[in-house]
């Protein structure tokens, strides 16, 4: 017998039933005793150490249907894995059935139409590698190992969001396996309520087995970073605040406060300019007011190079996040800079830890709030405190550092938070804050497509079940 967790308790499955399920799959069913099981249950955040009773390495959409039906038949707890990057580790469940779609890497680019059809196993590296030979791109995550499904369904911040909108704003359609094991299309024409909900509502409504994204012409950008010592941080933040707020859609500028390889705390200005190259210098000029940096790597580069620039500083390991959208009016207050610098306590306890300010607005702000479930469109900046790269015995110290820095910055935040940056220790009020004004409408869609809350291992929307 194989014991597995259900939505309500546990169940004993006969080996025969499990073997028959495995035989029906085009992919592979992994049990805890089998080779490959321990690798398959790993996710990016290595603080997560969960042991599913079964892992389905999906061979295609039919396997997802089989797995959902099998889970329903036995009332199994299920989790869904894409790129495995979510910091909460919700992709892996303890004792239940993990549906691993990272093996589904099919893609087809229709260059003439400017559309890619992509399966949920693609990372952003796979995605960019498929589209860049055609000179096409869409907004994606800034670390290329992140998966497309989780990022897209939660919204999708990225270098191109100010120019082309969030990743979910470029989602034309998706096919999902719903809680009753049907495959449905979500698009403007088909199931428009579902289409609305999956653009910001996360993995609450079904398992996406393919996505159609709109693509845009783009092959190169002017990007890199300028690094300044922390002693100049106040001046850097002051210039940044003004120039980012006034920037055209072609320009996105992030700020990273971190520790450099020599152990010195530094502040980096990280622009991505995606407009005509002959206007790059003029567009970046406001940032040049800062004078000589410690290091300057800004230059024209292939878009794919920018998309992998931060991979080395985001390896799998121990990570912890705290974040929130900043209030545009409150960050004009000079105390914003004072508090950021005095309370953030650099050097941080671990070298990969950092505070990141993301630059938003532009095209993503011009989508009407009711058009998609993603609701945080009006603010221009998001702040993330990231503790990372520490040993397990240093967890408390690093988590405490991140919480302290985040609490100090909280008075400058709007109260809204990006669902994909919530960590596992947030309460239900913060989850509600992530869905914001769209929560009740999302709950109504949840009741329609997943009344039993089968898809619950996520930032969960309660449909009243």
Task: Pick one of 96, 120, 201, 362: the residue that binds ligand FAD (CB under 6 A).
Answer: 120
> Residue 449 in contact with residue 205, Cβ under 8 Å?
yes
> Can you read off the two tokens belonging to residue 271?
């622009």
Nearest to ligand FAD of 86, 283 (CB atom)? 86
The partner residues of 11 in beta bridges, in order of sequence, read 4
Q: Is 385 in the site for ligand FAD (CB under 6 A)?
A: no
Residue 282 to residue 279: CA distance in whole angstroms: 5
Distance of CA 426 to the CA centre of its chain: 17
Stretch binding ligand FAD (CB under 6 A), from 7-15, 46-54, 155-163, 362-370: 155-163
Q: How far is the CB of 20 from ligand FAD (least distance, A)?
A: 25
Q: Is 153 in the site for ligand FAD (CB under 6 A)?
A: yes
Q: Is 156 in the site for ligand FAD (CB under 6 A)?
A: yes
Task: Pick one of 252, 283, 314, 323: the residue that binds ligand FAD (CB under 6 A).
Answer: 314
Stretch binding ligand FAD (CB under 6 A), from 27-35, 139-147, 186-194, 345-353: 139-147
Task: Pick one of 118, 160, 208, 442: the residue that binds ligand FAD (CB under 6 A).
Answer: 208
Residue 354 to residue 406: CA distance in whole angstroms: 11
Task: Pick one of 27, 96, 147, 379: the residue that binds ligand FAD (CB under 6 A).
Answer: 147
- Listed in order, strand segments (DSSP E) in 54-153 are 54-57, 78-81, 97-100, 107-110, 115-118, 136-137
> Can you read off the two tokens belonging to residue 92?
């892996």
Site for ligand FAD in 231-250 (CB under 6 A): none
Q: Is 379 in the site for ligand FAD (CB under 6 A)?
A: no
> Residue 368 in contact with residue 196, Cβ under 8 Å?
no
Distance of CA 26 to the CA centre of its chain: 29
Neighbours of 133 (CB within 10 A): 12
Q: Measured between alpha carbons, how far is residue 233 from residues 11, 349, 370, 439 in Å?
A: 57, 19, 38, 38
Site for ligand FAD in 42-81 (CB under 6 A): 43-44, 80-81
Taking alpha carbons only, the member of 316, 243, 318, 238 closest to residue 285 is 243
The partner residues of 388 in beta bridges, in order of sequence, read 319
Under DSSP, is residue 20 helix (H, G, I), strand (E, B) or coil?
Answer: helix
Task: Pick one of 48, 76, 101, 130: the residue that binds ligand FAD (CB under 6 A).
Answer: 101
Nearest to ligand FAD of 79, 438 (CB atom)? 79
Task: Pick one of 348, 372, 398, 420: the residue that binds ligand FAD (CB under 6 A).
Answer: 420
Nearest to ligand FAD of 86, 353 (CB atom)? 86
> Can you read off the two tokens belonging to residue 463?
């449909």
Q: Is 157 in the site for ligand FAD (CB under 6 A)?
A: yes
Stretch binding ligand FAD (CB under 6 A), from 28-36, 140-148, 374-382, 423-431: 140-148
Task: Pick one of 150, 304, 324, 463: the residue that binds ligand FAD (CB under 6 A).
Answer: 150
Q: Is 86 in the site for ligand FAD (CB under 6 A)?
A: yes
Under DSSP, is residue 180 helix (H, G, I), strand (E, B) or coil?
Answer: coil
Q: Is 109 in the site for ligand FAD (CB under 6 A)?
A: no
With CB atoms as reference, the residue minimizing the distance to ligand FAD is: 150
Task: Pick one of 52, 96, 149, 265: the residue that binds ligand FAD (CB under 6 A).
Answer: 149
Nearest to ligand FAD of 337, 420 (CB atom)? 420
Neighbours of 396 (CB within 10 A): 10
DSSP notation for 422-455: --TT--HHHHHHHHGGGHHHHHHHHHHH-TT-SS
> Residue 437 in contact with residue 376, Cβ under 8 Å?
no
Nearest to ligand FAD of 208, 413 (CB atom)? 208
Nearest to ligand FAD of 18, 93 (CB atom)? 93
Q: Is 446 in the site for ligand FAD (CB under 6 A)?
A: no
Stretch binding ligand FAD (CB under 6 A), from 83-91, 265-273, 372-380, 395-403: 83-91
Q: Is 377 in the site for ligand FAD (CB under 6 A)?
A: no
Q: Torsion over CA of 148, 149, 150 and 155, rounded to 10 degrees? A: 80
Residue 4 to residue 258: CA distance in whole angstroms: 43
Nearest to ligand FAD of 165, 293 (CB atom)? 165
Task: Pick one of 27, 52, 96, 154: the residue that binds ligand FAD (CB under 6 A).
Answer: 154
Residue 348 to residue 92: CA distance in whole angstroms: 29
> Residue 439 in contact with residue 432, Cβ under 8 Å?
yes
| Residue ranges binding ligand FAD (CB under 6 A) | 43-44, 80-87, 90-91, 101, 120, 141-143, 146-147, 149-151, 153-158, 202-203, 207-208, 314, 420, 457-458
């Amino acid at each position: 017998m194989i014991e597995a967790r259900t939505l309500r308790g546990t169940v004993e499955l006969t080996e025969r039933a499990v073997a028959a399920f495995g035989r029906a799959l085009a992919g592979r069913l992994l049990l805890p005793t089998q080779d490959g099981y321990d690798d398959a249950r790993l996710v990016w955040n290595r603080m997560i150490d969960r042991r599913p009773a079964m892992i389905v390495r999906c061979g295609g959409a039919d396997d997802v249907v089989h797995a959902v039906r099998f889970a329903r038949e036995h009332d199994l707890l299920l989790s869904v894995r894409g790129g495995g990057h979510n910091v909460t580790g919700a992709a892996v469940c303890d004792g239940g059935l993990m549906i691993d779609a990272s093996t589904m890497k099919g893609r087809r680019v229709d260059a003439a139409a400017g559309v890619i059809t992509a399966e949920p196993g693609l990372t952003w590296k796979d995605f960019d590698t498929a589209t860049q030979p055609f000179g096409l791109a869409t907004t994606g995550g800034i670390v290329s190992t992140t998966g497309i499904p989780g990022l897209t369904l939660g919204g999708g911040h990225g270098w191109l969001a100010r120019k082309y909108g969030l990743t979910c704003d470029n989602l034309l359609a998706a096919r999902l396996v719903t809680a009753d094991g049907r495959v449905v299309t979500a698009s403007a024409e088909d199931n428009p309520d579902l289409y609305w909900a999956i653009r910001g509502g996360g993995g609450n409504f079904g398992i996406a087995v393919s996505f159609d994204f709109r693509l845009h012409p783009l092959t190169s950008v002017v990007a890199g970073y300028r690094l300044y010592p922390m002693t100049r941080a106040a001046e850097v933040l002051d210039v940044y605040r003004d120039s980012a707020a006034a920037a055209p859609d072609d320009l996105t500028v992030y700020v990273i406060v971190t520790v450099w390889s020599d152990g010195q705390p530094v502040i980096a200005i990280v622009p991505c300019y995606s407009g005509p190259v002959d206007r790059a210098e003029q567009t970046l000029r406001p940032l040049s007011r800062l004078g000589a940096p410690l290091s300057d790597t800004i230059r024209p580069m292939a878009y794919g190079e920018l998309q992998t620039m931060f991979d080395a500083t985001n390896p799998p390991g121990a990570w912890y996040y705290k974040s929130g959208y900043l209030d545009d009016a409150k960050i004009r207050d000079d105390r914003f800079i004072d508090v950021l610098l005095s309370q953030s306590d650099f050097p941080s306890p671990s070298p990969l830890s950092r505070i990141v300010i993301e630059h938003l607005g532009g095209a993503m702000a011009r989508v009407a709030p009711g058009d998609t479930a993603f609701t945080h469109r009006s603010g221009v900046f998001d702040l993330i405190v990231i503790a990372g790269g520490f040993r397990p015995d240093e967890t408390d110290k690093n988590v405490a550092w991140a919480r302290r820095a985040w609490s100090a910055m909280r008075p400058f935040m709007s109260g809204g938070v990006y669902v994909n940056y919530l960590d596992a220790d947030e309460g239900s009020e913060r989850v509600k804050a992530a869905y914001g004004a769209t929560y009740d409408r999302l709950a109504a869609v949840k009741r329609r497509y997943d009344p039993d809350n089968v898809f619950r291992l996520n930032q969960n929307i309660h449909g009243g079940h």
